[in-house]
Amino acid sequence: YKGSAVFNSLDFNQKVYVPLSQGAASIEVFILVYDVQPMLDTLKDLNLPMQLNYFMINECTLLAINAQR
C-alpha cells in the first residue's frame, strides 16, 4: 500500500479505507484531489488510533498513515 495514486473518493475507499479496515498497518498514497478533508473525515468511522501525516505539494497531497493496532 505504498505509492498508489488516489484520483477520487472511490479510489480513496479502495486504496486507503478498505485496507485499513482489513488490518493494514501502514499506507502511503498520493491524493490528486484538491479537497482531501472529506476523504480524511471518513477514516473516523474506523474508530482506530492512527497517525496521519500529509504534505501538500502543488495540487497533490502525500498522505502517510500508520495505524496503531
pTM (predicted TM-score): 0.90
Say whether pLDDT at 24 is over 80: yes
User: Would you give the distance in Å from CA 9 to the centre of its chain?
Assistant: 10
Say whether pLDDT at 7 is over 90: yes
Per-residue pLDDT at 1? 54
Judge whether 5 and 29 are in contact, CB under 8 Å: yes
Amino acid at 25: A
